[in-house]
Structure 1
Amino acid sequence: MDIRQLKYFLAIAEEGQITSAAKKLQMAQPPLSQQLKQLEDELGVKLVERGPRRIQLTEAGIILQNRAKQILELSDSTTREMKDLGKGLKGTLSIGTVSSSGATLLNDRLSEFHRNYAGVKFEIHEGNTFMIIDLLSKGIVEVGIVRTPFNLGNLGYKYADPEPMIAVMTPEYDWDRAKSTIDVTELQDKPLIIYRRFEQLIRETCSAHGFEPNIFCKNDDARTTLLWANAGLGIGIVTRTTFELANNTNLIYKEIECDNLRTQIAAIWMKDKYLSTIAAKFIESFSGDNTSPI
């Protein structure tokens, strides 16, 4: 099994027809069919079931499709890494980032880094914290930008300054317009819209203050919290820098005065993997004092 065979198989899996895959690959159908058969023979499993119109991937085929994507992505990343090595501080930096880091990353980190290293280009992969750590472990990205809390494991890390969480709401939910800050107890019985990763933290904090939070909606993207709050469906709980990520034309926000409801952006990397000069320089430029060794 080689990279070429994986490319062939991925084209077949994506097209659902060997004929269409052959056209996409600009090759004849018989050689492509033969490559598929050779791959099945080598692996000792059936990868596809041929139907009247489309092929269907077997369980083994689905597994190989996922692995093939990862292997080809890693192959491309390795090729870029080797090329970048000879270019000094020119080349491409692959970063994985959670949605809630967007404003901080662009305003405070990437803009400054770009001014200092104008020859560097970027490849951004977005997902939740668990996805970003998975991308790091597979070598698809070199640096992850995530939010606390997360499991350090074998990760190197550098924290940015902590920031508070805020309650975002439309004016009709504002119970005290004279105040720009609130105590966490004021959220009792309010319909809350939260980012799923913060659920445990919010529940534990509310419990410590003597009440159970009324969670109206849980979601996997901080931008969704803002959109639902902007639609007047409840009170969103997000980090302060998240406020600019989505439509907030109807929203006001109040900082929650609670030390437990604070979070930090962190740059993370794998301790046991090669770190390019570009990635090391980016991490050095990431503000914050709490750092593990690079």
Structure 2
Amino acid sequence: MELRLLRYFWTIAEEENISRAAARLHVTQPTLSRQLKELETQLGTPLFERQNKGLVLTEAGLFLKSRAAEILQLTQQTEQEFANRRQQLFSGHVAVGCVEADNSDTLAMMLEDFVSDYPQVTFHIFSSASDIITDQLDKGLIDLAILLEPVNTDKYATLTLPRTETWGLLVAADAFLAQQDSVAPSDLAGMPLMISNRPEVQCLLTDWSGLTHEQLNIVGTYNLSFNVLPLVAHQVAAALMIAGAVTNRQPADTRFIPLKPAIQTNCVLVWRKDRVLTPVVTEFIHYFQDAFA
């Protein structure tokens, strides 16, 4: 016998009226009548008799109401005990590394839900480039991380996040290239560039452009976009980055131009395969898995 049917029956018994019970349960009257008939069929006996003032419980109905009250009360108490136990269990700390990307909003969304469900949990967010974040992860200084592909994840369990990151050049708004809608490999000839110091990103650019590292005019490297923004604005160099790195904080004197052919990569949630995780961290990973796996 389903708990749902017991709740329906008990509410009808309390209200002594199908219409009032249906309104209280937020179901339609035909649906509730059909469920009541199904319950009576299961039990092989009528539970109510219709009289002028409404529904009256039969002898079998009186017996079931007393049992239903006990069962529903026990169910409610059990659910509350598990809810209390969950709140007591999850009162730890989560340390998360995160790159500059559109998926930073994904992390914020998941943390908002998590701390709402587990208000005793505290968290720390470490923002940096993927290589620095993985170093922190390997040392055990953070529990898990959101990294930007391309990145080597051999040591990690991974979950790919669905929002793609678009690569392009950030250029000065008054630069000649700013008049274009996209950047082609031929546009890079002789152009001063700032790129990530990560070898994976440098290979991404050379593979896309067909130019060697030596043929590219790389004047500087960086790990976070914040400090290169004024250099771009003053036309010291254009900076290779993803659009999400400057979302909602791009200076008016710069412009992001996507690469063509387009390069789009994903962010991945990672954690060490060989590390025993705390219950809090495990549960936080489950939130991502439930949302995106």
TM-score bracket relative to the smaller structure = 0.5 to 0.7
Task: State how far apart, in whole Å, the 2-side matches of 1:170 and 1:263 are.
Answer: 24
* Structure 2 counterpart of 1:95, one-letter code: V
CA contact (8 A) 2:173 2:233 kept: no
Task: State how far apart, in whole Å, the 1-side matches of 2:231 and 2:238 are.
Answer: 9
1:215: Cα distance to partner? 1.4
Other-structure match for 1:218: 221
1:152-211 CA-partner distances (Å, limit 9, x unpaired): 22210112233220211112213362x4333233232221121212223212322269x9
1:255: Cα distance to partner? 1.2
1:69-127 CA-partner distances (Å, limit 9, x unpaired): xxxxxxxxxxxxxxxx98334332111233x24x531x222234313432132112344
For 1:192-271, what aligned pairs fall within 5 Å after superposition? 192-197=193-198, 198-207=201-210, 212-244=215-247, 248-259=251-262, 261-271=263-273
1:279: Cα distance to partner? 2.3
Pick one of 283, 286, 290 that aligns with 2:285. 283
1:109-153 CA-partner distances (Å, limit 9, x unpaired): 223431343213211234433332232233221111221222222
1:216-274 CA-partner distances (Å, limit 9, x unpaired): 22123232333321233221111010013755221112111234x33322111011212
For 1:163-178, what aligned pairs fall within 5 Å after superposition? 163-175=165-177, 177=179
1:7-35 CA-partner distances (Å, limit 9, x unpaired): xxxxxxxxxxxxxxxxxxxxxxxxxxxxx
User: Do the aligned partners of residues 86 and 172 (structure 1) sit closer, same or farther apart at CA in structure 2, a change above 3 Å counting?
Assistant: closer
CA contact (8 A) 1:228 1:234 kept: yes
The structure number with the bigger radius of gyration is 2
**What is the alpha-carbon root mean square deviation over aligned residues?**
3.3
Task: State how far apart, in whole Å, the 2-side matches of 1:232 and 1:287 are.
Answer: 43
Other-structure match for 2:113: 115
Other-structure match for 1:93: 94
Local SS of the residue matching 1:167: strand
User: Do the aligned partners of residues 175 and 220 (structure 1) sit closer, same or farther apart at CA in structure 2, a change above 3 Å counting?
Assistant: closer
Task: State how far apart, in whole Å, the 2-side matches of 1:285 and 1:184 are.
Answer: 40
User: Do the aligned partners of residues 183 and 96 (structure 1) sit closer, same or farther apart at CA in structure 2, a change above 3 Å counting?
Assistant: same
Local SS of the residue matching 2:88: coil
Task: State how far apart, in whole Å, the 2-side matches of 1:114 and 1:122 are.
Answer: 11
User: Do the aligned partners of residues 139 and 239 (structure 1) sit closer, same or farther apart at CA in structure 2, a change above 3 Å counting?
Assistant: same
Local SS of the residue matching 2:231: helix
- Structure 1 position 145 matched with structure 2 position 146: yes
User: Do the aligned partners of residues 122 and 149 (structure 1) sit closer, same or farther apart at CA in structure 2, a change above 3 Å counting?
Assistant: same
TM-score norm. by structure 1 comes to 0.59
Q: What is the aligned-residue identity percentage?
A: 16
Other-structure match for 1:104: 103
Structure 1: gaps (5+ residues)? 1-84
* Regions of 4+ moved over 4 Å: 287-291
Other-structure match for 1:158: 159
User: Do the aligned partners of residues 227 and 276 (structure 1) sit closer, same or farther apart at CA in structure 2, a change above 3 Å counting?
Assistant: farther
- The count of residues paired between Structure 1 and Structure 2 equals 203
* Structure 2 counterpart of 1:232, one-letter code: Q
User: Do the aligned partners of residues 223 and 286 (structure 1) sit closer, same or farther apart at CA in structure 2, a change above 3 Å counting?
Assistant: farther
Local SS of the residue matching 1:279: helix
CA contact (8 A) 2:160 2:267 kept: yes
Task: State how far apart, in whole Å, the 2-side matches of 1:275 and 1:137 are.
Answer: 13
Task: State how far apart, in whole Å, the 2-side matches of 1:164 and 1:247 are.
Answer: 15
